[in-house]
Amino acid sequence: MKLRTRILTGFAVVVALFVGLGIGVVVSQRNQLTSQLDARLESVVPLRPPRPEIPQAGQGSAVDSAERPEVAEPRQEPQRPISDVYIAIKSVDGAVEALVEGELLEVMPDVAELALAAERTFGTAGSTDDSTSFRVLAEPIGPDGDTLFIAVPSADVDATVQRLILVFTTAGLLMAALLSVIAWWVAHLGLRPISAVTETAKSIAAGEKGERAPDFDDRTEAGQLAGAFNVMLDGREASEDKLRQFVSDASHELRTPLTSIRGYLDLYAEGGFREPGQLDDVVRRMQSEAGRMASLVENLLQLARLDEEQPLNIAAVDVDELLGDVVASATVAHPGRTVELDVSGIESVAEMDKNKIGQLVAVLVDNALIHAPDASVRICAVHQPDELMISVVDDGPGLTNEETERVFDRFYRGDPARARTSGGSGLGLGIAQSIAQAHGGELSVKSSPGQGCEFVLRIPVDKTCV
């Protein structure tokens, strides 16, 4: 079920519950008020005129009836209290005798239309002019089957119920309108961006790689989702571009030595290099190209392992000894060059992968010795509260702003011709950056034309690296 459908269903359930609540309240209130009217009807005692008793034959008083003067007894009129109660008797022949007609009544109930009762019952009746309604108690009386009707107006009950119905109807309509506005608002601000992201994802899956989700208000979760989706697509596209460039550069770097080796072999197959000493020179060149290709493949494999975040061999390392070994190796590889070492600001031991950090520093030193042939190189190491900082500084020609920004890109070379002549593949600084990141650290560079370069490695000393 779609989110839009779930929201609309939820709103419909809320409205249905409110309607059910309103019906329940109205019915309950009507029943309560009607019960009060019924209790009032049961409490009413009708006032009927007393009937004189007639003496039986043979019975008399001490004074003969002939001798007793006849005295006319005054007729007692029934008391008619000021009320809204109506009392009447309906005989079996349909005649209605009203006993009490409350003076507060403007119209009388139409009890002539009511049926005779066999037992006490409650019901409703209209008025003689159909303008109002009455609550009626019907009770059989006497042996002749007459029925006593007691009625009181139920207009107040009807008015109260009508007001309740009006209140709940108005509230229900207002709530429905409010929920409709909320549903539109949620759909417009919340679901529309999600739908747009979904459509964009479908377009990209269909091959439209350049599609992006529209921009929405980033103060909403859906707008943030659309923005994050676009950032993800841009990042993926950038990664794919880098991957394509990486494969292209790697293929180019591998093709160069392979082309050279194949060319030598083709020439030899066609009869070349038959003179004494020529074949030895060709084999030497082929070995050089094969070594260069093997070095490139090894660097690529190392980058792949670092990208896969394979575990490092973390152990306590004597930093002074590690840097001293790097300086010694650099001096052997570049006779006549001097690399200064300043380790006065470090502690003797730090947790790191000795081989990887040694390789990183060696790459920085070798890079400075190769690309700044007349410059001095210096290594400094300092222990700060939370990190170990190692810097490699030279006073060579320095880097341009573009070179500074791209110096850690894989296969990037500021001077491709010179780098290829020296055997470089443009992977050394990329490998160094990956090693620093694998240790949870950072490798940065500061340089400007004519001012030399300063590569700075910072490694957290209190962080376990895996």
- Lowest mean per-residue pLDDT among 61-65, 262-266, 307-311: 61-65
* Judgement on whether residues 35 and 161 belong to the same structural domain of the protein: yes
Q: Residue 139 domain-assigned? A: yes
* Judgement on whether residues 267 and 296 belong to the same structural domain of the protein: yes
| 371-392: average pLDDT | 87
Q: Residue 68 domain-assigned? A: no
| 442-447: average pLDDT | 92
Of the residues 191, 207, 223, which one is the last residue of a structural domain?
Answer: 207
What pLDDT, on the 0 to 100 scale, is given for residue 194? Answer: 76
Q: Residue 62 domain-assigned? A: no
- pLDDT above 90 covers what percent of the chain? 11
CATH code where residue 218 lies: 1.10.287.130
Q: Residue 66 domain-assigned? A: no
* Judgement on whether residues 453 and 368 belong to the same structural domain of the protein: yes
Q: Residue 72 domain-assigned? A: no
* Judgement on whether residues 326 and 409 belong to the same structural domain of the protein: yes
**Buried residues in 76-114 as b, exposed as e (16+ CB within 10 A):** eeeeeeeebbbbbbbeeeeeeeebbebeebeebbbbeeb
What pLDDT, on the 0 to 100 scale, is given for residue 390? Answer: 92
Please provide the average confidence, as pLDDT, over all residues in the chain.
80
| 380-389: average pLDDT | 86
When pLDDT is cut at 50, 70 and 90, the band that residue 393 belongs to is: very high
CB within 8 A of 77, min separation 6: which ones? 49
Phi-psi group of 353: left, alpha or beta (phi > 0 → left; psi -120 to 50 → alpha; rest → beta): beta
- Lowest mean per-residue pLDDT among 287-291, 299-303, 373-377, 386-390: 299-303
| Cβ–Cβ < 8 Å for 363, 425 | no
Q: What is the pLDDT of residues 266-308, one digit of tens each?
A: 888 888 877 787 788 888 888 888 887 887 788 778 777 777 7
Strands (E), 252-409: 314-318, 339-345, 349-353, 377-383, 387-394
Q: Residue 400 domain-assigned? A: yes
| Cβ–Cβ < 8 Å for 434, 307 | yes
* Judgement on whether residues 85 and 126 belong to the same structural domain of the protein: yes
Q: Residue 167 domain-assigned? A: yes
Exposed, middle or buried: residue 442 (CB in 10 Å: 0-12, 13-18, 19+)? middle
When pLDDT is cut at 50, 70 and 90, the band that residue 58 belongs to is: very low
| 373-385: average pLDDT | 86
CATH code where residue 95 lies: 3.30.450
| 401-430: average pLDDT | 70
Q: How many structural domains does the chain have?
A: 4
* Judgement on whether residues 95 and 119 belong to the same structural domain of the protein: yes
* Judgement on whether residues 442 and 330 belong to the same structural domain of the protein: yes
In whole angstroms, give the CA distance from residue 463 to residue 466.
Answer: 10
Of the residues 290, 308, 326, which one is the last residue of a structural domain?
Answer: 308
In whole angstroms, give the CA distance from residue 260 to residue 292.
Answer: 11
* Judgement on whether residues 379 and 393 belong to the same structural domain of the protein: yes
* Judgement on whether residues 104 and 30 belong to the same structural domain of the protein: no
* Judgement on whether residues 199 and 218 belong to the same structural domain of the protein: no
* Judgement on whether residues 137 and 164 belong to the same structural domain of the protein: no
CATH code where residue 324 lies: 3.30.565.10
Q: Residue 51 domain-assigned? A: no
CB within 8 A of 289, min separation 6: which ones? 257, 258, 260, 261
What pLDDT, on the 0 to 100 scale, is given for residue 3? Answer: 67
Of the residues 265, 287, 308, which one is the last residue of a structural domain?
Answer: 308
Q: What is the pLDDT of residues 172-230, one digit of tens each?
A: 899 888 888 887 777 776 677 777 778 888 888 887 777 777 776 677 776 777 778 88
* Judgement on whether residues 222 and 260 belong to the same structural domain of the protein: yes
What pLDDT, on the 0 to 100 scale, is given for residue 61? Answer: 42
Residue range of the domain that includes 386: 312-460
